[in-house]
Structure 1
Amino acid sequence: MSMVLFASVVRVRDGLPLSASTDYEQDKGLQETKKHLKGLSKKLSQFPDRCSLRSGLYNINDSMDRFISQTDVNMERHIDKVSSFLSFTSSLGVGYMMVCTENYPNVLAFSFLDELQREFIVTYDTKRINSALRPFSFIEFDNFIRKTKQRYNSPRSLSTKINLADMQTEIKLRPPYQLSAEDIGSINGFSQHKQSKYKGIAPNQMLEAVTLSGIVACILSVLCGALNLLRGVHAIESVLQNEDEDFNYVIAFFLGTAACLYQCYLFVYFSVWRNIKSFLAFAMICLCNMYLYELRNMWQILFHVTVGAFITLQIHLRRPQGKAPDYNV
């Protein structure tokens, strides 16, 4: 019988499970398959954004058992051959994975994952996903997974409710990568020291387009960093010439330089806890300028603090992209 057996939603950066379907838990064969999916979920960033795995490797009757144990020939086998289909959108930092029977249509599998993706994007924002600490923090999403599974396990009624033409076209134009035995073996510890051949293929988290105000803020921040660096070098010269000079001024100048440049980095690249890191860098800029009040006049201090606040605001406004550019293609 052609059907969806299991589905889960995971966070790409660390494989943290966010939600999953809860039925078929009594099936030992599926439990073993899910163990491999759990290992795979922690390596999603090393693979292309759309992958699939059919028969052989996840054949609980034969090949899968050899991956689990070469000696356990008496293991109970009571599930049909299944295939694993996984897909995740790197720009959103979330992966959507499923297990289905071997004869389940490829287009239906990825259409199913696409529905999960669309609903999850609408229901949960990126900030909440990135801040999740506990497994299955969004377990309530299981209700949608369960209802969607029921629909996709009834192909006759399903065919009249969804349009698969777009998905068929997308799969033809950009077919999913077929995982191999080498891929699964590497994930399960057989080739742990081998560097992933997919490193760099999966795109990083993308930020929204840079605005003019963002460019100005970044340039001003670099300027402030350069001024701090220049004053820090001069402070070192003063310390070497006059032992009475306070070396802490040198530290304050260089910390200010580091904070300004780190603000620029946070503006250009995505980072976890990006807004919090930016605020801490701004706090460092303020503290350094407070300490340097004897060496700077009020206008200089105000300039440095204002630039720090400006780029902190720009970092907050430049959010991660809500959808991939070709999401609706």
Structure 2
Amino acid sequence: MSMILFAYVVRVTDGLPLSASSDFEYSRELQECKKQLKIVSKMLGQFPGRGTVKSNQLHIHFTSSQGIAYMTICCSYYPTTMAFCFLEELGMEFVSTFEVAKIHVVSRPYAFLEFDSVIQKIKWHYNYSNRPSLKISVTNIQRELKLTPPRQVNVDDIVVPNGTPNGHLHLQSNSAPSYRLEPASVVGILSVILNIMCGALNLIRGVHLIEHNFQCYLYLFYVSARIIKAAGALILICICNSYLFGLRNFWQIFFHIGVASLSTHQILARKLTERLHDCGV
């Protein structure tokens, strides 16, 4: 069972969401907790570097550095130290992936949504191995939390009965974010057609047919961890074609791998955009 349920990266100065995990859950408790997290993200300037919002079943933990805040929703029984280890590692990966100067000038929500693949990898590591990587020292985090305990934020201080946090910040009821891919390019459409051709040539080989169909799917539709899945599909196609080196000549194998490489490039080049009418998480 997952213990880290949701992760969120936000700019402290204006609460602009920069990235988030795309694994949507539909339990009532988690949806309510996400609303609280969204409110807190707009009030981070009022809180110190670390803080925790506790409820019966779920806790919100957050930490901020260099004007960027990293937030997570965890099960109430998940150790606080491990939650902050997760946030520290998330922060290290984010600032090492993107330039801080660029982060502070973007104006579009979820401008770094591709970071979702990194979030998923770190979440899996903490949920299923229950220990941080070598980059993070649990002992150091424990020592820091003892010296400067995270600010305990009362839920009542965030949401009052009339739905207005602290009397001035209104909570808008939004559904989960809706993402779409940029319009398909001519080269991208060509890669889909070529993949269909390769699939037709592999009707008698079910695995190869699935490989090329999967590449078409990755190009046409948004899925989480696109980078990892696209790279995995390309590697699998290369390996499978290497085993056919007696049944196919060099040019046939070159054609299939070339189409797979073109499709992978187009999958990675096709960026995500968020529908402006729905920027909630």
- TM-score, normalisation: structure 1: 0.47
Matched, 1:23 2:23: yes
Amino acid at match of 2:24: Y
Report how far residue 11 of structure 1 moved.
0.6
In structure 2, what is the Cα distance between the partners aligned to 1:193 and 1:138? 29
In structure 2, what is the Cα distance between the partners aligned to 1:54 and 1:130? 30
The unaligned stretches of length 5 or more in structure 1 are 60-80, 195-329
Report how far residue 183 of structure 1 moved.
2.4
Report how far residue 192 of structure 1 moved.
1.1
Q: Larger % of helix: which?
A: 1
Report how far residue 129 of structure 1 moved.
0.8
Describe the superposition over 1:280-317 as per-residue Cα deviations: whole angstroms up to 9, x where unpaired. Answer: xxxxxxxxxxxxxxxxxxxxxxxxxxxxxxxxxxxxxx
In structure 2, what is the Cα distance between the partners aligned to 1:119 and 1:160? 12
SS of residue in 2 equivalent to 1:132: coil
2:53–2:60 CA contact under 8 A, matched in 1: yes
SS of residue in 2 equivalent to 1:99: strand
The unaligned stretches of length 5 or more in structure 2 are 170-281
> How many percent of aligned residue pairs carry the same amino acid?
44
Amino acid at match of 1:130: H
Matched, 1:176 2:150: yes
SS of residue in 1 equivalent to 2:166: coil
In structure 2, what is the Cα distance between the partners aligned to 1:177 and 1:121? 24
SS of residue in 1 equivalent to 2:37: helix
Report how far residue 88 of structure 1 moved.
1.1
- TM-score, normalisation: structure 2: 0.55
1:5–1:24 CA contact under 8 A, matched in 2: no
Amino acid at match of 1:34: K
Equivalent of residue 118 in structure 1, options 58, 75, 92: 92
In structure 2, what is the Cα distance between the partners aligned to 1:111 and 1:84? 14
Amino acid at match of 1:85: H
Q: Larger % of strand: which?
A: 2
RMSD: 2.3
In structure 2, what is the Cα distance between the partners aligned to 1:160 and 1:38? 28
In structure 1, what is the Cα distance between the partners aligned to 2:146 and 2:99? 31
Matched, 1:38 2:38: yes
2:39–2:158 CA contact under 8 A, matched in 1: no
In structure 1, what is the Cα distance between the partners aligned to 2:166 and 2:108? 29
In structure 2, what is the Cα distance between the partners aligned to 1:82 and 1:13? 26
Report how far residue 2 of structure 1 moved.
6.4
In structure 1, the partner of 2:54 is 54
Amino acid at match of 2:60: S
Larger radius of gyration: 1
Distance change in 2, residues 1:190/1:88 (3 Å): closer
Amino acid at match of 1:113: L
In structure 2, the partner of 1:87 is 63
